[in-house]
Amino acid sequence: PDADFVFDARCLPNPHWNALLRPLSGRDAPVREWLEAQADVNLFLEHLRNFLDIWLSRFRNEGRSYVTICIGCTGGRHRSVHLVERLAEYFRQNYERVLSYHRELE
């Protein structure tokens, strides 16, 4: 209910179906490498960055002190975690406080 933007990553390839990756999360190198090798994951991430680059700056210019962005996937362990971590890393270059929280991991 507190989200400003919600994105659904269930359309992306799912590492859950790889038995070696299933117990890991999107923070783990093998999952990260697997996801980064998927063209659709990279395209999805690129589109999210482009969208958020435009609109986050406009929120900031309007005086908003924070924006909540949510990304979901089926289990909340692989795709959404990876995307959140990559976006947080990217936006920390231009914004002072970028926090990330993974409901299914924490």
Q: What is the pLDDT along the chain (106 residues), one digit of tens a residue?
A: 889 999 999 999 999 999 999 999 999 999 999 999 999 999 999 999 999 999 999 999 999 989 999 999 999 999 999 999 999 999 999 888 999 999 999 8
Q: Is residue 105 part of a domain?
A: no
Q: Is residue 100 part of a domain?
A: no
Give the number of domains in the chain: 1
Largest CA-CA distance found in the chain, in angstroms, rounded = 47
Q: Is residue 103 part of a domain?
A: no
User: What DSSP line would sit under the chain, residue for residue?
Assistant: ---SEEEE-TTS--GGGSTTTTTS-TTSHHHHHHHHT-HHHHHHHHHHHHHHHHHHHHHHHTT-S---EEEE-SSSSSHHHHHHHHHHHHHTTT-S------TTT-
Please state the pTM of the whole predicted model: 0.94
- Look up residue 41 and give its two tokens: 């994951």
Q: Which residues span the domain enclosing 43?
A: 5-91
